[in-house]
Structure 1
Amino acid sequence: MSRKKISWSQLSPRAKAAIVATAAVDAGLRAWALADLAGRDDAAVRGPKKLWGLGLGVVNSAGVLPAAYLLLGRATRMA
Structure 2
Amino acid sequence: MSKTKKSWSELSTPAKAAIIGVAAIDGGLRVWALRDLSSRAPEEINGPKAAWRVGLALGTTAGIAPTAYLVWGRKRT
What is aligned with 2:28? 28
Stretches of structure 2 lacking an aligned partner (at least 5 in a row): none
2:67 aligned with 1:62 = no
In the alignment, the residues of structure 2 paired with residue 14 and residue 61 of structure 1 have an alpha-carbon distance, to the nearest angstrom, of: 20
Given that 1:42 and 1:49 are in contact with CA atoms closer than 8 Å, whether structure 2 keeps it comes out as: yes
Match of 2:45 in 1: 45
Kindly, what percent of the aligned residue pairs are identical? Answer: 51
Structure 1 runs, 4 residues or longer, greater than 4 Å off: none
Q: Which residue pairs with 2:2 in the alignment?
A: 2
TM-score, length-scaled by structure 1: 0.93
TM-score normalised according to structure 2 size: 0.95
Count residues with an aligned counterpart.
77
Quote the offset at 1:5 in angstroms.
1.1
Please provide the CA RMSD for this pair. Answer: 0.9
